[in-house]
């Protein structure tokens, strides 16, 4: 059985981040029997059609998203204010939100989840957004952890 490919287009302000992600995924790919990552930087080859687009705040590009309308968009949170994150999530078709300090295992898990049609938010982001919106577990409730 061949490897399943995920094509990723990286559109970051910092080229070093692109190189780091490409290197990390190349190392992971070498040890995986079932997963292959094809990583391109902007601007991609004409024939390249990504499955996933990784962007930072400064590269939220509606023209790019329209050009690759079937691609899932991941926003990398580089320390944005919560109000900015919430606004981006509401006004863009974002399939995933990742922190800049996400480890490789979680990154691969996020890619797999989004590739299968799910939305990806880390527990940290969900809890922070819910808390900021005024939701918090009640003391003594069965679903609250103490």
Give pTM, 2 decimals.
Answer: 0.82
3-state DSSP assignment of residue 103: coil
pLDDT at 140 (0 to 100): 54
pLDDT at 78 (0 to 100): 87
**For residue 36, what are the contacts with CB-CB under 8 A and spacing of at least 6?**
3, 4, 5, 6, 29
pLDDT at 138 (0 to 100): 65
Domains and CATH numbers, the chain: 4-132 (3.40.50.2300)
Neighbour order of strands in the sheet with 94-99: 35-41, 4-11, 52-55, 72-77, 94-99, 120-121
């Amino acid at each position: 059985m061949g490897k399943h490919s995920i094509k990723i287009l990286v559109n970051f302000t910092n080229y070093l981040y692109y190189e780091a992600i490409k290197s990390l995924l190349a190392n992971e790919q070498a040890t995986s029997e079932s997963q292959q990552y094809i990583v391109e930087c902007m601007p991609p080859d004409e024939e390249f059609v990504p499955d996933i687009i990784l962007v930072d705040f400064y590269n939220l590009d509606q023209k790019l998203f329209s050009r690759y309308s079937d691609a899932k968009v991941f926003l990398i949170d580089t320390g944005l204010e919560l109000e900015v994150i919430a606004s981006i999530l509401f006004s863009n078709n974002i399939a995933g939100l990742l922190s800049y300090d996400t480890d490789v295992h979680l990154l691969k898990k996020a890619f797999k989840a989004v590739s299968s049609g799910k939305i990806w938010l880390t527990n940290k982001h969900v809890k922070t957004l819910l808390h900021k919106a005024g939701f918090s577990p009640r003391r003594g409730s069965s679903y609250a952890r103490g």
